[in-house]
Amino acid sequence: MGDRFEAIVGAKHVLRPEAETLCGARVEAIVRPASAAEVGACLRAASESGIPVVPVGGGSKLGFGNPLDTPACIRLELGRLCDHARLDPDEGVAELDAGVPLDALARSAAALGKTTLLDPLHAGASVGGAIAVDPVSPEASLDARLRNELLGLEVALANGEVTRSGGRVVKNVTGFDLVRLYCGSFGSLGVITRAVVRLRAAPERVIVTRERFASLDAALEAFARAAAAGPVTAAATHASGGGAELLTRLSGSAAEVDAQLARAPGEPAELEAWSLLRTELVRPPGPGFARVRLGARPSDVAILCRGLVVAAGATAPLLALPRAGIVFGLVPSPTLAGVAAFAERAGATFALERGPGGAAAACDAFGAPPPALALMRALKARFDPARVLSPGRFVAGI
């Protein structure tokens, strides 16, 4: 099998590790293609040989998702797909190879006075991997999610065909929205090789405010009052000194930030306070713990936090994002099944974000099967009938 990959990408780009695992499966070979055509050829070879493939970008989120449903796999590393990174500030779009590092993209965009929702939150993250997993950053809100910023994708399918969906403008989708379908699918339907995303104007001004409260409920109520008076860019609450701390991040034009500042709780703080919050969100959980993410309506954030406390202990709520309706928790591994059960009862989404120090999951990484499970399985059967692409890693072992 290795000889077939060597014929496609060259012998020096195929490694045969002796004792490496990936998402619970033994790695038979590490293959590093340099183009979409080579990715397609590798997938065709894998399909014909019946060996599963796991696409890997920067490798920063391999702890997300379920273990693979296979004893062995090919690790398909996309880091060599990084030559094409065209940013067009006039058109407001960026066309990017899947292997482009997000920190490099952020620097290039900033030099043009632009930004994207491809957030370099996770160290080493790449364009393709971020789209495939669709992580959540502290700046997230209901209308600030990556899937809303994707304009087009180039994707290699399991049969080796390289396809394109969407384009370079906003109103270009007819029929089924394949671009959003691939976003957050964990490489189970195809391998993203290139993406077109929106470029937004970088904010003219950014301010962070901070205030401490006696309880999480009090902090959330204070934010709700501020948000009712007008928009606030982003906010997060977390436990602090027996109470809770509310951080608000205000960004935009100078006039917009001044207007937000007039109603935001607390006093201006160093921007480092928000940076530390981002660091905490990606810190690997220690042995015996796992990081989970619950999502519901923004008005239900307090309910999610209380449910986490009941299911996993008083220290379980790690971070709440009231603009996004998302709560992160750091929970003891034995409580995972109980937390997932609470999410199902509450009608909330559940996602297990296992860090490198996380223990094996006691439940599906995506919680209870969603109502659309039958459709999701049908799509998997249509796109990947031989289950070559990351088998078992997605919802309900898809």
Domain boundary (252, 282, 312) is at 282
**Domain of 308, in residue numbers:** 284-367
Q: How many residues does the chain have?
A: 398
Element containing residue 254 per DSSP (H, E): helix 254-263
**Residue 329 half-sphere exposure toward CB, CA atoms < 13 A:** 34
Please report whether residue 379 resides in a domain: no
On the question of pLDDT at 175 being above 90, the answer is no
Q: What is the pLDDT of residue 173?
A: 46
Burial of 112 (0-12, 13-18, 19+ CB in 10 A): middle
Same domain, 41 and 127: no
Q: What is the mean pLDDT of residues 221-248?
A: 90
**Phi (first) and psi of residue 38, to 5 degrees:** -70, -35
Domain boundary (201, 235, 266) is at 201
Please report whether residue 374 resides in a domain: no
pTM of the model: 0.93
Please report whether residue 380 resides in a domain: no
Give the span between the Cα atoms of 132 and 182, in whole angstroms: 7
Work out the widest C-alpha separation in the chain, in whole angstroms. 65
- Following DSSP, what letter does each residue of 271-307 receive, concatenated? THHHHHHHHHHHSPPPTTEEEEEEE--GGGHHHHHHH
Residues 11-64 have pLDDT tens digits of 999 999 998 999 999 999 999 999 999 999 999 999 999 999 999 999 999 989
Q: What is the pLDDT of residue 356?
A: 43
Please report whether residue 161 resides in a domain: yes
Residues 118-163 have pLDDT tens digits of 999 999 999 999 999 999 999 998 888 898 899 999 999 999 999 9
**Phi (first) and psi of residue 352, to 5 degrees:** -95, 120
Average model confidence (pLDDT) across the chain: 92
Q: What is the pLDDT of residue 168?
A: 67
Same domain, 115 and 197: yes
Residues 185-232 have pLDDT tens digits of 999 999 999 999 999 999 999 999 999 999 999 999 999 998 888 888
